[in-house]
Structure 1
C-alpha cells in the first residue's frame, strides 16, 4: 500500500505506474534480471525519463530544450489569446445589450452561449482530425479562423451577425483548450509536466482575467469594435508564432521501451524485442536495447510545412467515438467532474460581473468592471509560479519515499489547496457581496483566493489525466472540454436570473458547497485510483474502440 494507495494484485504492472526516482529504489521494482542502466535518464542521472524516448532525432521527446520551451511559449501566448476572446465583451454586456436592443439574458446567450456550445462541438471534431492527421494543421487552420472571426465581429451591424461571429470564434477556440494538454504530454516527461500544465492554465485563466481590464477600458473610451480589431491583430501574431515555433508533436514512436502504459514492467516493440535475450529470466543488456535510428533529422523548412505527413489509419468514425468511450474510465469521470466545476465557475463569475458591479452600491463603469479581474490574474500568476515546485516537487518527494516508483495519484494531494482556497473564496465572495462590503474584499481577497485554488487544482487534474492515460490524453481532454462547455452553456440560460431571484449569497454558497463535495471525491480517487487504472486496462474498456482497426 504505497503511501495510502491500494495496491492492485491483478496485473504485473499497472499502466501509469513507472520508475521515476532511483534513489533508494529496489531493483525488484523494475525486474530482477533487468539491467537498470538500459533506462534513459535526465541530465542529472537520477530521474528515469517517463515515457522512454526513442533514438530518433525527430522524436519530440528528443527535441532540444530551447525548442521545447519555445513551443511552450506559443502555448502560453495562444492559450492567453483564446482565453481572452471568450469573455472579451463581458464587462460591457449591460450597455451592449441595450445598444443591440435585446434583453440581457438573450444577449448573454447569443454572445457567450453560442461561443461556448461551439467550443464543445469543436472539441470532439478537432480532436478527431488531430488524431488522424496530427495537431499542427488543426492549430494553423483554427488560429486563422480566430483572426477572421474577430475582424468579422468588429464590423457587425446586427445581433444575429455578432452571434454568428462568436460561434465561429468558439469553434476555432477549442483546439487551444482540448489539444494543448495532449501536446504537453507529447514533448515533456512526467517530472516536467506539472509546471507546463500550470503554464497552460495560466494562459487560459490569464487571458480570461486580463481581457476584462484591457477590453473594459477600450470599450468605454472607444468601442467594442476597436477591442475586436485589436484581438484580431493578436491572433495574426499568434498565427505567425504557430507557423514558425510550433512543429508537429504527434509522432509514431518506434524502438522505445514502454515502462508506463503496458501491463508488463517493460514492454518492447518489434525493433527492440529482437535485442532482448530470453534465457530462463528476461535480461536486457545496455548495448542491445534498441536498434540505432537511421531516420534523418527533419530540416527547419520541413517542419514549417502545414502537414508533416503524420497519419493514423483508424477510421474517422471510430476516431470520432473515441472521446465518448474514454469517459468509461473512473479517472476521466473524476477529472471531468472536477475540471467542469473548476472552469465553469469562472465562466459564471465572468458573465455576472457586469450585473453585480454595474449596479448599486458599486456603480462601476465598464472599465472598472473589467479591472476587477486584475486580482484574478495576479492570483493565477502566483499559482503558476507555485505549481511547478509544488506539483512536480510533491511527485518527486513521494516517488522517492515509494522506493523510486511513481504513481499518477501522487498528483492528487495538491487538490487540498483547491478545497481550502477556492471553496473559501466562494463563500466569502457571496457573503461580502451580500453585506455590500467595500469592493477590495470581494474583488481582491475573494477573487484572488478563488483563482489561486483553481490554478493549482486544474494543474493537478490535467497532469493526473496525462499520467494515467497518456496514449488517450487527446480523447480524454476532448470529452472533458465537451462536457465542461455544455455545462457552462447551460449556465448562460439561468445564471443572471438565478442571482436576480435568490441573491448572490445563496447562489455562491451553493457553488461553494458543490465545490467542496466534488473535491472530496479526490480522497477515494487517491485510494482506489491504481485499481481503477488496472480495471480499465484488464477489461479493455478503451481498447475496444481506440485500438481497433
Structure 2
C-alpha cells in the first residue's frame, strides 16, 4: 500500500506507475536488462518517464531552448485565447443597451455562443489533430481567431456579433483541449507540473487581464477598438505558431516503455537485443541513423504525420474515454474549477455597475487585476509544488512514481477556493468595501483554481499519456457545455436569489466535489488497472 494508495495484484505493472529514480528498483533487472539501459536526466538521478527514443526528431530529445520556446508560445497563445472570452464582459450592461437586447439575451449570444462553440470545437479539432497532427490545427485556428476578431470589431448587428463570437469559440478550442497533450508530447513526467502551470497561467492570466485592459479601452474608445487590438494580437500569435511550434506528434518505435504497459519493462525485440548486457561490460550508447529534420522543414504547415484510424471513430472515442474513472473524476473537478470563474466573469458588470459600488466600465474591468496577481503567484509555486510533492513522495515510495502523488495538492484548491466563494457571497451581501471582495476573495479563488487545475491536468496526463488528447477533448466539451448552461440563468440567478445564496451554493458544491479526491487517491491505481484489464477504451481507440 504505497503511501495510502491501494495496490493492485492483477497486473505485473499498472500503467502510469513508473520508476522516477533507481532507488530500490531491483525489479528493473528483468530478462537480462541492466538498469543502466534506462535513460536519465542530466543529473543522472531521475529516470526519464516516458523514455525517449534514439531519434533526434523525437520531441523528448529536442534541445532545451526549443522546448522552452514552444512553452512560451503556448503561454502567449493561451493568454490571448483566454482574453477573447471575457473581453467584452466589463461592458455587458452598456453594450446590451447599445445593441437593444436584454442583458440575459446579450450574455447568451455574446458569451454563450462562444462557449458552446468551444465545446464542439474541442471534439472536432481533437479528431483532426489525432489524424493529421497538432501543428496544422494550431495554424488554421489561429488564423481563424485573427479573422473572426476583425469580423467582431466590424459587426453592425447583434446577430453578426454573435456569429463572430461563435467562430472565435470554435477556433479557441485547440488552445484549451490540445495544449495539455502538447505539453505531454515534449516534457517528461518530472518536468510537466511547471509547464502545466504555465499553460493555466496563460488561460487564467488572459481571462483576468482582459477585463482591466479592455474595460479602459471600451470606456475611452469602443468595443471595436478592443476587438481590432485582439485581432492584431492573434496575427502575432500566428507568426509565433508558424516559426516556433513545430509538430510535436511523434511515433516512437525504439523506446523502452516503462509507464503505459502492463509489463515492468516493455521492449521491442530489436531493442531488447541491443539492451542485453554482458557482465562487467559497460553499457554501449546507441544512436539513431535517422536524419535530423531541418528547421526549414519544420516550418511546413503539415509535417506529413497521419493516423489511419477512422475519422468517425476518432470523433467519438473521447466519449468512450469518459468511461475511465480517472477521466470521469477529472472532468467533474475540471468543470467545477473553471466554470464558476465563467459565472463570475459574466456577472461582474451586473454586480459592480449597480449600487452601492456604481463602477464604471473601466473600473469593472480593473476588478480582475487581483485575480491576475493571484494567478501569477500560484504559477510561481504550482509547478514546483505539484512536481516537488510527486518527487518527494516517489522517493518515500522507494523511487516509484504513482500518478496519484499529484493529488495531495488538491487540498490547496479546497481551502483557498471554497473559502473565497463563501467570503465573496458574504462580503457582497453585506456590501463591504470593494477591496474585500475584489482583492481578498477573488485573489483566494484564483489562487486555488490555478493550483487545483494544474494538479488535475497533470494527473490525467500521467494516467492517460497515450490518450491525453482525447481526455482533454471530452473534459473541455463537458466543461464548456456546463458553462454554456450557466449563461442561460447566471444573471437571473443572482437577481432573484441574491449573491450570497448563489455563491454559498457554489462554495458548498465546490467542497463536496473536491472531497471526492480522497477516494480517487486511494483507489486510483486500481482504477488504472481496471481500465487496462477490461480494454474498455481499446474497442474504439485501437480499431481502424
- Kindly indicate whether the alpha-carbon contact (under 8 Å) linking 2:149 and 2:231 is maintained by their aligned counterparts in 1: yes
1:340 aligns with 2:339: no
| 1:387-444: CA deviation from partner (whole Å, max 9, x where unpaired) | 1221111011000000000000000000000000000000000000000000000000
Q: Secondary structure at the match of 1:46?
A: coil
Which residue matches 1:85?
Answer: 84
Q: CA shift at 1:548, angstroms?
A: 1.2
The answer on whether the counterparts of 1:391 and 1:414 sit within 8 Å (CA) in structure 2 is yes
Which residue of structure 1 lines up, in the alignment, with residue 351 of structure 2?
Answer: 356
Given the alignment of the two structures, is residue 471 of structure 1 paired with residue 466 of structure 2, yes or no? yes
Which residue matches 2:135?
A: 136
Q: Secondary structure at the match of 2:308?
A: coil
2:439 aligned with 1:440, yes or no? no
- Could you tell me how far 1:292 is from its partner in structure 2? 3.5
Superposed, 1:276-287 pairs within 5 Å as 287=283
Q: What is residue 452 of structure 2 aligned with on the other side? A: 457
**Residue of structure 2 equivalent to 1:330:** 325
Q: Does 1:13 align with 2:13?
A: yes
Aligned residue number for residue 259 of structure 1: 258
Q: CA deviation at 1:30?
A: 5.9
TM-score normalised by the chain length of structure 2: 0.98
**Residue 287 of structure 1: CA displacement?**
4.3
Deviation at 1:34, TM superposition (A): 3.3
The residue aligned with 2:148 is: 149
2:151 partner SS: helix
TM-superposed deviation, 1:285: 8.6
Shift of 1:2: 0.3
Aligned length: 544
1:484 alignment counterpart: 479
Q: Name the counterpart of 2:422.
A: 427
Return 5+ residue gaps in structure 2 as ranges: none
Find out whether 1:308 has 2:303 as its counterpart. yes
2:426 and 2:500 in contact (8 A); partners too: yes
Please name the residue that 1:400 is paired with.
395
Check 1:269–1:502 CA distance in 2 against 1; reply closer, same or farther (3 A cut): same
Matched, 1:298 2:278: no
Is contact 1:111-1:162 (8 Å) kept?
yes
Question: Which of 370, 378, 398 in structure 2 is aligned with 1:383?
Answer: 378
Q: Provide the C-alpha distance between the structure 1 equivalents of 2:475 and 2:540, rounded to a whole number of angstroms.
A: 18
8 Å CA contact 1:30–1:265 kept in 2: the answer is: no
CA distance in 1, matches of 2:10, 2:304: 40
2:37 aligned with 1:38: yes
Give the match for residue 57 of structure 1. 56
Change (3 A) 1:139 1:169: same
Contact 2:33 2:276 in 1 (8 A): no
Shift of 1:375: 0.2
SS at match of 1:266: coil
Query: Paired residue for 1:223?
Result: 222
- Measured in 1, the distance between the counterparts of 2:157 and 2:398 equals 64
- 1:173 aligns to 2:172 (yes or no): yes
CA contact (8 A) 1:35 1:285 kept: no
Kindly tell me: are residues 234 and 478 of structure 1, through their superposed partners in 2, closer, same or farther at Cα, counting changes over 3 Å?
same
Q: Relative to structure 1, is the Cα distance of residues 35 and 8 closer, same or farther in structure 2, using a 3 angstrom cutoff? A: same
Partner of 2:315: 320
Distance verdict in 2 for CA 1:30–1:220, change over 3 Å: farther
- Seen in structure 2, the aligned counterparts of structure 1 residues 32 and 419 have a Cα distance that, compared at 3 Å, is farther
Cα gap change, 1:2 to 1:95, in 2 (>3 Å)? same
Distance 1:32 1:516, change over 3 A: farther
Does residue 202 of structure 1 match 2:197? no
Q: Show the counterpart of 1:182.
A: 181
Counterpart secondary structure, 1:355:
helix
Distance 2:46 2:246 in 1: 27
Question: Is the counterpart of residue 547 in structure 1 residue 536 in structure 2?
Answer: no
Distance 1:349 1:440, change over 3 A: same
- Using the TM superposition, give the Cα deviation of residue 284 of structure 1 relative to its aligned residue in structure 2, in angstroms: 13
Aligned equivalent of 2:524, options 520, 529, 532: 529
Shift, 1:294, TM fit: 1.4
Q: Distance in 1 between matches of 2:240 and 2:280?
A: 43
**How far apart, in 1, do the equivalents of 2:114 and 2:250 lie?**
32
Q: Cα–Cα, structure 1 residues 185 and 380, in superposed 2: closer, same or farther, change >3 Å? A: same
Paired with 1:25 and 1:188, the residues of 2 have a C-alpha distance of 25
Determine the C-alpha separation between the residues in 1 that align with 2:209 and 2:281: 54
Matched position secondary structure for 2:485: helix
Flag structure 1 segments of 5+ consecutive residues without an equivalent.
none
Q: Output the CA distance in 2 between the equivalents of 1:287 and 1:52.
A: 17
| Residues 103-151 of structure 1: CA deviation (Å, up to 9, x unaligned) | 0000000000000000000000000000000000000000000000000
Contact 1:153-1:165 within 8 A present in 2 as well: yes
Match of 2:157 in 1: 158
Partner of 1:370: 365
SS in 2 for 1:109: helix
Q: Scaled by the length of structure 1, what TM-score is found?
A: 0.97
